[in-house]
Amino acid sequence: MAPISFLIACLLAFTLEIFFSPPVSSSASLLSNSKYSSSMKDLIKLGEGCVNHPEDVSVVVRKGALYTAARDGWVKYFILHNETLVNWKHIDSNTFLGITTTEEGDVIVCDTEKGLLKVSEAGVEVLDPDVRFTNDVIEASDGSLYFTVSSKKYTPAEYYKDLVEGKPHGQLLKYDPELEETTVLHEGFYFANGVALSKDENFVVVCESWKFRCRRYWLKGPRQGRLESFIEHLPGGPDNINLAPDGSFWVALIKVYVIDGMQDRLLKQRE
């Protein structure tokens, strides 16, 4: 890697390290100084002080509940009409990332160490123990699970190494519940993150954090098996993604701060 590329990658990795692990004393000031704070003043915080670093949520409309998996090992849900928090199932783990709820009422959890998990009233089942650094998952109408592996080479604690190396180690995979098999649909993502199905389930969208873009993988139709651009040059690294009722997508972005004078060079490196 050329010296300037290495320097930029190190600066970005350092910035992301601060973002993912902010000092506790600075978290309040970050919100109060934000230009968006005025629009957030009427928001209701659910589970404040009771939920330890949740990565993702999934709403079950028929139950009026919102599920999440926290770093204290609990899969929890909020009863929305009275804002009650229930500790539902405990797993001996603190490495949860994305989750989704299924039509049967189970919760699928991406555990970066244990693999892909199914949590139900009966307990916890490991669907695939061989995948690591699973990040996000979504269920299709036929019960298939589409999920991402952010890096097949590095662990979550080594994410900055994945960034600095600058090579695509991410994957999109599919779990077939009938065959109980996992297949790799596509490789070569620069930190594969969130994943979402289109409304007609013809394609999935994968967030590619290090490239500031999302890509579309076709599941059906004449383009089946093809990977193509969905949106480029986002103003931050795309993280989680969810399908909206109208068929569009909500994308959460990792805010990246770049030192003055370095932004143009960073953009050139991404291209």
Chain segment 150-162, per-residue pLDDT in tens:
999 999 999 999 9
- Do 241 and 251 touch, CB atoms closer than 8 A? yes
Average pLDDT, the chain: 84
- The residue assigned the tokens 């909500």 is 250
Res. 64 pLDDT band, cuts 50 70 90: confident
118 alpha-carbon distance from chain centroid: 17
Give, as one character, the DSSP assignment of residue 169.
-
CA angle 129, 148, 229 (to 5 degrees): 160
Tell me the CATH architecture of domain 3-20+52-270. 6 Propeller (2.120)
pLDDT at residue 24 tops 50: no
Chain segment 117-136, per-residue pLDDT in tens:
999 999 999 999 999 999 99
- Report the run of H or E that residue 3 belongs to, with start and end: helix 3-20
pTM: 0.81
Look at residue 264 in the predicted model and tell me its pLDDT. Answer: 56
